[in-house]
Amino acid sequence: MLTAYLVRHGQTAFNAEGRVQGWLDVPLDATGQLQAQRVAQRFSEKSIQAIYSSPLLRAADTARAIAQACKLDVIFDERLREYHMGDWTGLTADEIRAATPGVHLDDPEIAIPNGESAQHMHARVAAFLHDLIARHAGETVVLVSHGGTLGAMVGTMLGLPVMRRHPFAFGNASVAKASYEGGRWRLRSLNDRCHLRGP
């Protein structure tokens, strides 16, 4: 059985402001740095064989904290990047709606100016999962990525239709757990943030 822990990066200033980040390299804020340390502590006593991460700074720094706790190196993979949001980068949802009246933001067919389609996101996430299964049978891995990417990943695991935004919640520094066994993925937990409780 392959076990995969799906971790969303810690908070950034753009997260706090409700702004779309996409491929913009926004660093963790002070809260996000603390969240990264808390999620790292969660994995410090687990047997982890590999840690994969998006190369974007907010995910990379979260992954590095986990890697230090697990005494492993981070494997960066471009396929774990967030949606490329093109001209919408840096905007809030309200600003996007004002600029594109009548457009449904969850429509997988929508073309974001200079951005990425939901189909392309689905294809790169599916390719990543295919390689993960081939490389890590019987192992436990951590995947550090972004809310949109993790939604696409869980949707792909469960065989759901391609969507721009799947109905899954991924709070900053949250953990989801999935396992691959008998030729299929099973979702074991979602949006677990118990490690963030306390002072």
- 108-133 pLDDT, tens digit per residue, is 677 788 999 889 999 999 999 999 99
pLDDT band of 143, cuts 50, 70, 90: very high
pLDDT tens-digit profile of 146-170?
Answer: 999 999 999 999 999 988 778 889 9
The span from the CA of 151 to the CA of 153, in Å, is: 5
Is the predicted pLDDT of residue 107 greater than 80, yes or no? no
Residue positions counted in the chain: 199
What's the token pair of residue 77? 């993979």
User: What are the residue numbers of the active site?
Assistant: 9, 82
Task: Residue 104: give the domain boundaries.
Answer: 2-196
Q: Say if residue 66 is exposed, middle or buried (CB neighbours under 10 Å; 0-12, 13-18, 19+).
A: buried
- CATH (domain of 44): 3.40.50.1240
What's the token pair of residue 86? 């093109």
Q: Model's pTM, two decimal places?
A: 0.95
Count of Cβ atoms closer than 10 Å to residue 104 Cβ: 11
CA-based radius of gyration for the chain: 16
Q: Number of structural domains, the chain?
A: 1
Cβ(53)–Cβ(60) below 8 Å = yes
Strands in 2-8's sheet, in edge-to-edge order, are 74-76, 50-53, 140-145, 2-8, 175-181, 184-192
